[in-house]
A = this chain, B = another copy of it.
Amino acid sequence: MLKLYGYWRSSAAYRVRIACALKQLDYENVSVHLVKDGGQQHLPSYGMLNPNHLVPTLQDGDLLLNQSMAIIEYLDEAYPEPALLPAEPTQRAKVRAMAQNLAVDCHPLNNLRVLKYLSSELNLDDEAKNRWYHHWVKTAFKGFELQLEGTSGLFCVGDQVTMADVCLVPQVYNAERFGVPMQDYPLINGIVRRCRQLTAFAEAAPENQPDAVIS
């Protein structure tokens, strides 16, 4: 059985959960608490599984795999139905680029370890950290919305759910959590609304995870 080391609020883990849910793959969810004990991802025992000390990590038999997009590509090859990448080469390429627009150029700037560095090393207050956060989300969403004009149908690329949607929904969840105004992105909002109506996206949502702490 697949084993996924993740955390309810990690958006990279959230992406993998969506992919698993879309493919109806059962997996054991192992919670790595990113805050408790100074962050359980820093434990040496977790470092044996993932020397980068980040989540998620997927275990499939002997394979230990990190990086959410590599995991999703792996799942898409190993468990091809439903496909999260279109068969047509230029469409596949567009899906990957759209996914990476968020997972490469936006999320890594705003994840927990970076926000920690901003506080502890650069002494930024919450307002300055929030400005940083909003800046990179807005920059990414502005470009993403423009690209959607050329690629989107019901979903990010055409009318099927793809890896791009799998990355978009967690990024919007994060943006909402940090209070980024969303009114300028009608195409993004429509796609996210349609995704959230699908059972797989609901199942994978942070608040529906066993380790969720809802205040």
Q: A89-B77, A93-B74 are in contact. Are A101 and B52 (CB under 8 A)?
A: yes
Q: Does A83 contact B (CB under 8 A)?
A: no
Q: Could you mark each residue 84-96 of chain A with 1 if its beta carbon is under 8 Å from any beta carbon of chain B, else 0?
A: 0000011011101
Q: Shortest CB–CB separation between residue A4 and chain B, in angstroms?
A: 15
Closest to A124 in B: B122
The binding surface of chain A is classed by DSSP as: helix
Q: Does A10 contact B (CB under 8 A)?
A: no
Per the bound structure, the CA–CA distance linking A143 and B140 in Å amounts to 27
A105 touches B54 (CB 8 A): yes
Contacting chain B: which of A64-72, A174-182, A205-213?
A64-72
Report how many copies the assembly holds.
2
B124 touches A131 (CB 8 A): no
Partner of A104, one of B65, B108, B121: B108
Q: Does A78 contact B (CB under 8 A)?
A: yes
B52 touches A65 (CB 8 A): no
Q: A122-B128, A135-B117 are in contact. Are A65 and B51 (CB under 8 A)?
A: no
Q: Shortest CB–CB separation between residue A96 and chain B, in angstroms?
A: 4
A97 touches B67 (CB 8 A): yes
